[in-house]
Amino acid sequence: MFRFLVCRGIKGGAPQKALSSLGSINPARSVSSLPFATVDAEEISGSQPAEVQNLVQGKWTTSSTWNTLLDPLNGESFIKVAEVDEAGIQPYVESLSNCPKHGLHNPFKAPERYLHLGDVSAKAAHLLSLPKVSNYFARLIQRVSPKSYQQAHGEVQVTQKFLENFSGDQVRFLARSFAVPGNHLGQQSHGFRWPYGPVAIVTPFNFPLEIPVLQLMGALYMGNKPLLKVDSKVSIVMEQALRMLHFCGLPVEDVDFINSDGKIMNKILLEVDYVAWVCDQDAYACSGQKCSGQSILFMHENWSATDLISKLKDLAQRRKLEDLTIGPVLTFTTEAMLEHMNKLLEIPGSKLLFGGKELENHSIPSIYGALKPTAVYVPLEEILKDKNFELVTKEIFGPFQIITDYKNDQLPIVLEALERMHAHLTAAVVSNDPLFLQEVIGHSVNGTTYAGLRARTTGAPQNHWFGPAGDPRGAGIGTPEAIKLVWSCHREIIYDYGPIPKHWEIPPST
């Protein structure tokens, strides 16, 4: 998610009532006639230096370290940027870490945010259409990235048109889904656009408004929480643009804005727990070694009160080596799997439900695994403990699963466990309760997810997308969408044949 002699300008103004029609705001540092601005583009100078702040967890902050910028036209010290050093990164790490992987919104969670962001875009587009506001940003761009007024104003216009394009309902149309008929009555496959959650945007200096606004809003539209870093030499433009977006209704907690050098930004990104996806391991024919094999089962107390476990045990014990319904494990030895099981059984309250022994009468080499289908029960409260979580969620690529149970009021704990996991390929939500399905799907991030009483985790046919809900390079397979997203990228070709207007002459330089 990483991208890579000045004229005075047109003096023009919109009626003040056009601005005030959007509401009123009084920033603590406001020095401009514009209601959102905290600097005056025309007055920034060595004698009146501007200050650029940082934004984290909904609050504008300064820093003990200030980077002084020189006016690129005359060398005066005209802007002071509050730069975050290593000692100050923790609030940014915490802010990104607090954003769940399923984002600030998604098609099942807080869908009203799509509409709200459409309204924010409409208001911001209207503001930028006002000569007084567009001139303000054009002049601010000129002060830090000297270019002709026409070029600077053109950048503002592109940004304004982008925001106009994504006003109203257009944001929710970005999350348009699709459905494909299934194999039998009651089955459908749905594809949804899902956010990544916490993301970072790093932008260059040459388009200090257009590039960061377009990338930032795109990330927000889809439900992500961005940390934005603009080149410090021009970050004053985006600082003022963020204040404008807040004035237009963007929640102040939605975006973090940081000024720092590259090393500090890199350290923040390394500190944050970003989504890491395990790509498909293509071992479908190996017993217990499907990449979509069930690794952990969360049973509601209603299910645990039935004979589900005993039935699972009976079915598991039917498997035999003779027909290869159970067979060799190619990536874990028997010893390694039994050692893992014994570590799990040391957790208070855990117990072996079935299996836990080596296959009998086999000739499988010792470099492979030969284990009976095994299930270990671990109490939910113990799973969530830091000292146990990594052990319980360790991927055992074989006939091995964890089983736990939960009560009605413990669903948030189950969702927390799902959030903390690193591998989010397939999932099954086994219920016919539409409200329960909506709650779980809206607060999880698994890729191929089956929902309903017939839900499963394995056996995705060719007509289903099969892959993680994240970076498409995580190798989704099966459908046209998967092929397009994984194995191609967007290329834009603009044909422009003309004709050249009659009597065309070379225009003035811009």
> In the structure encoding, which two tokens stand for residue 290, read together?
């499907």
Quick check: 290 and 400 in contact, CB under 8 A? no
Q: What is the pLDDT along the chain (510 residues), one digit of tens a residue?
A: 222 222 223 223 333 333 434 333 333 444 558 999 999 999 999 899 999 999 999 999 998 889 898 887 788 898 999 888 888 888 888 898 889 888 899 888 999 999 999 999 999 999 999 999 999 999 999 888 877 888 889 889 989 998 998 899 999 988 888 887 877 777 777 778 888 888 888 887 778 898 889 888 888 998 889 889 888 888 999 999 999 999 999 999 999 998 887 777 777 655 563 222 222 222 222 344 455 567 888 888 888 887 788 888 888 888 888 877 787 777 789 999 999 999 999 999 999 998 999 999 998 888 878 899 899 999 999 999 999 999 999 888 888 888 899 999 999 999 999 888 877 777 888 887 889 999 998 988 888 888 887 777 776 665 677 777 765 455 566 666 666 666 665 666 667 777 888 888 888 888
* In the chain, domain spans: 50-269, 272-451
- Contact indicator for 52, 239 with CB cutoff of 8 Å: yes
Topology of the domain comprising 50-269: Aldehyde Dehydrogenase; Chain A, domain 1 (3.40.605)
Distance CA 137, CA 212 (A): 14
Measure the CA–CA gap between 465 and 479, rounded to whole angstroms.
Answer: 5
pTM, two decimal places: 0.72
Q: Which two tokens stand for residue 31?
A: 């020095």
Contact in structure between 53 and 62 (CB atoms under 8 Å): yes
Give the helix ranges, DSSP H, for 99-249.
112-129, 131-144, 149-165, 170-173, 210-221, 235-247
- Identify the three-state secondary structure at position 477: strand
Cα–Cα distance for residue pair 91/94, rounded to 1 Å: 5
- In this structure, which CATH number among 3.40.309.10, 3.30.365.10, 3.60.20.10, 1.10.510.10 belongs to the domain 272-451? 3.40.309.10
